[in-house]
A and B are shown apart, each in its own frame.
Chain A
Amino acid sequence: MNHSSRPSRRSRLRAVGLTCSVFALVLSAGCAADSSGNDGGKTVIRFNWWGSDVRHEQTKQMIALFEKEHQNISVQVEYSNWDDYWKKLSTGAAAGDMPDVLQITDPFMYSYIDNGQLMDLKKVKDVLNTDKLPPNSMSMTTVKGGLYGVPAGDSAFGVAVDPAAFKKAGVPIPDDTKWSWDDYVKTATAIAKSKSKLVGSVMPLYPNMVGPWLRQHGEDYWTEDGSEIGFTEKTMTGYWEWVVKLRDSGGTTSPEAAVEALASGAGIEQNLVAQHKAAMTEMSVTQLGALEAASGRETKLLLFPGEDGAAQVGAYTKPGVFYGASARTEHPKEAAQLLDFLVNSPEAGKIGKFDRGVPVNPDVLKAITPELSPAEKRIADYLRRANALKPTAVHLPNAEAGPAVPEIFQRLNEDVLFDRLSPKAAAKKFISEIKSQL
């Protein structure tokens, strides 16, 4: 036995063989991951969405029902939170690997529509019935005559107030048909100065109040066709002057605490109103159920201040979430069947309720109305009141620059809150930064 310390030729060959087979395995696993196609005679389609745990559970139930109704289709689901969703989708799109059916929203969806990543749903109109969907609910996804998404549900922004906190502070809840932006600051201050030791209002960091503000001044983010910026430096300066006034009033959380809450990705459960520490917060009204579940209190929804005597109604309702399909799907018919089920099936509506907004299909809404919780009834009531003001339609955002607006706003808003920029300088920069994205 010479060379006993060295591997024999045979064992060396075996090692080489092993290495190669490991490689082959890795490579084939890579290919196996691409699995849209057939699965035991069934057509497999992929469906992606973002959302909370509640939504994940509900949607999986809806899918189970869909698969029961369509024995020939198997739906592969993938879900994540908001941030990861878009990063994953953009890289997926770059690799030509978009899910067949997906949840989308403005303004981010416009990049996808503009670049031809989404299917024109008019092509599958024999399968996807849009007769019951009000035309105005589809105006946002109608681009150059094509339809690129169907609305999952209507939503709006508003002010949530905790009546128990107001009572504790001895401050009356303002009349939201008459209150002004100054009243908002005064109310917040009054609560903070009362013996209740409560925070008057959560510091607004998202641009949710900006849209209504601009509209009340007869402007909008964008011109009607979305080609140009639709607001003036003066109006934007006014908004940030109001923010500074609110900050200096002492009626809100400190900018630091607000920034911290935002950075930790806090959900509505961590909102100070949910924790009985604050009396008012702006929010997307469909989150009311989650807010009440966390706070254990009945919460009221108010219209934004300043509607009385405004140049234009600031409030608006619009679908907050849409469903779309990939332009490159190999199964357009099955994808359309799923879309049709999601927006038109009363049974699906009963599972999802208002989680993605108030269903726009009247039949679905009617079917689920008897099963609504008190919070959901208040959401529906709020949307009715907002719509009763007869708001004009929101202008479509610019496909190039629109998606960057929330991020630019948030950054400049922090500059204002920490006194690094004056409201006027911030407004000027806001406009120039958006312009540089056009």
Chain B
Amino acid sequence: MAKGKKFSPVPTPETQHYWDGAKRGELLIQQCDDCSTHYFPPRPFCPNCGSRNVKVKKASGKATLYSYVISHMLRPGQEDPFAIAVVELEEGPRMMTNIVDCPQTPEALLLDMPLEVTFEEWDETITLPKFKPAGGATS
């Protein structure tokens, strides 16, 4: 990554559906047809039982705040500290994300607070799922 250039993820054959979904405004996770486990990140087999009988499904987009830090390690173009968070989806899997529409402070970012997915266009190929407080911004 060149200095100052925005980092952009590059999908692989196993993850392309996820990024295509995000571009459409859908958060896609996967579920095993044999053991029913929901999982993330994407792969064409179940990490719980090894079965290849898996399907892609749209997540509800509801989540809770599992843990985070407020990073003061800023990239070019960033001016203020921001939270790097891990959220727990309603279906069970966890994912890293940012929390938007919310002050980036310990007072506003409370563990287990309800969140909902939102999407941010990153560049012409990538749209990133992010999360915001459920039911609108908090004070």
Tell me if chain B binds chain A: no
Interface of B toward A, CB cutoff 8 Å: none
Interface of A toward B, CB cutoff 8 Å: none
